[in-house]
Amino acid sequence: MSEQTNTRSGTAVERSEQTAGGAARRRVVVAGAGMAGVQTAVALREQGWEGTITLLGAEPHPPYDRPPLSKAVLLGKADGSAFEVDFASLDIELRLGLEVTGLRPADHEVDTPGGPVPYDVLVVATGAEPVRLPGAEDLPGVHLLRTLDDAERLRPLLERKGDVVAVGAGWIGAEFATAAREAGCRVTVVEAADRPLAGALPAEVAAHMADWYGQSGARLLTGARVAALEPGAVLLADGTRLTADAVVVGIGARPATGWLAGSGVELAADRSVVTDDRLRTSVPDVYAVGDCASFPSARYGERLLVHHWDNALQGPKTVAANIVHGPAEGPVYDPVPYFWSEQFGRFVQYAGHHAAADELVWRGDPGGAAWTVCWLRGGVLVALLAVGRPRDLAQGRKLIEKGAAVDRGRVADPAVPLKSAVG
């Protein structure tokens, strides 16, 4: 971003300082009431914001956490996953069932079906939306798993213990298949690539995770493209017809940023909002955070788009600090990405970013119950994936944060604590 753009992005804070002696309270509007939006609103209060805060949520439900949807909520072990936040005591105005439909920076307003909402500072936190399978729109028996309503629609179907087909063997597909098998369903997972998690992990790593499906009693079909969907069946390109009481499509997600068209907010090719290292957008007084925003990482030397819970938890602290204190004093955002997944009886954790690594090192037998794979770049640990080895993750994450060089031989020995592998 240009120096001029960055200067303009701080104007709301400057005006706030000028009017602190008795003018109207400054207004922050947060568009999106998921994890990133809620945490932004909370962080603003924690960091001393005294102006008004309005949180706009598209869904009618009180704001809730998403990870339990594919686990406890889906299996009927919990009725919901609402955040334990007392919005009233924090003086946060919560407006639900109000989807943002447009942004007019010249007027400092966002458009909604209920009319325009004015802001002095806007935080875009509209998250991501699932990629839909062409021809599946409004087809009976075809589901997504992104919202609380999605989980509640699927729950009674799992209780019937019928035939379920999941399209996509990514993280959400694996977690859904895990829950469906636990519920007693017959599960088939269809993946167009030659392995699960093809877009997330290298072939030599993901290949070891393919066996987990069969071990759980699920069937995994790779290299299988969906030709058509019809009520009660999935038709594959090779002519195979899979009967299904329910079909769940989990083929990825993309930033929910269509409402920003024509606003002047710069979007990347992947539709993410382009931010600087303080999560400011190209438009003054507008920030973006969470699944909808990409940011430049000095640590990894590239722009990152992170669709995971921890990013939506950590980014808001940076946004709030820059709004409250001003960009001249606010922190930069350059985290070590982190996420976890529970699938087929295994706890999988990942930290870092392995795309630029030049070496892969195994810790333990990837055919066993617990193992770790580490990625190095120039001898420095940049990422790791830990399966059933949470201590490796905790210690490795700290080494990544420090940019620590490690000894390859000690990294490869699972009996040596990672913290002792520093070169």
**Distance (Å, whole) CA 408 – CA 375:** 10
Return the pLDDT at 3.
Answer: 34
Q: Does one domain contain both 95 and 167?
A: no
Return the pLDDT at 24.
Answer: 53
Residue 12: in which H helix or E strand, if any? helix 11-18
Query: Which residue is it, tokens 């979007």?
Result: 267
219, 249, 279: which is the final residue of a domain? Answer: 249
Query: In this structure, what CATH number is given to the domain that contains residue 371?
Result: 3.30.390.30
Supply the DSSP symbol for 193.
S
Average of pLDDT values for 30-35?
98
Return the pLDDT at 23.
Answer: 39
Contact 248, 166 (CB under 8 A): yes
Residues in contact with 256: Cβ distance below 8 Å, sequence separation at least 6, in sequence order: 126, 127, 128, 129, 291, 292
* Ordered alpha helix ranges (H), 326-385: none
Q: Does one domain contain both 55 and 117?
A: yes
Local confidence band at 71 (pLDDT 50, 70, 90 cut-offs): confident
| Assigned token pair, 121 | 């500072």
pLDDT over 90 at 22, yes or no: no
**Distance (Å, whole) CA 371 – CA 366:** 6
Compute CA 222 distance to the chain's CA centroid, rounded to the nearest angstrom. 25
**Distance (Å, whole) CA 236 – CA 234:** 6
Q: Does one domain contain both 124 and 260?
A: yes
CA dist 376 → 198, 262, 382, 412 (Å): 20, 42, 6, 12
**pLDDT tens across 259-286, in order?**
999 999 999 999 999 999 999 999 999 9
* Number of folded domains that form the chain: 3
Evaluate whether residue 217 is within a structural domain: yes
pLDDT over 60 at 9, yes or no: no
DSSP for 165-176? EEE--SHHHHHH
Residues in contact with 230: Cβ distance below 8 Å, sequence separation at least 6, in sequence order: 139
Evaluate whether residue 136 is within a structural domain: no
**Distance (Å, whole) CA 4 – CA 2:** 5
Evaluate whether residue 330 is within a structural domain: no
Average of pLDDT values for 335-353?
96
325, 359, 381: which is the final residue of a domain? Answer: 325
**pLDDT tens across 147-194, in order?**
999 999 999 999 999 999 999 999 999 999 999 999 999 999 999 999
186, 215, 249: which is the final residue of a domain? Answer: 249
Query: In this structure, what CATH number is given to the domain that contains residue 85?
Result: 3.50.50.60
**277 bridge partner residues:** none
Instruction: State the residue range of the domain holding 355.
Output: 345-420
DSSP for 90-146? TTEEEE-S----EEEGGGTEEE-TT--EE-SEEEE---EEEPPPTT-TT-TTEE--S
Q: Does one domain contain both 25 and 113?
A: yes
**Distance (Å, whole) CA 146 – CA 153:** 11
Q: Does one domain contain both 41 and 123?
A: yes
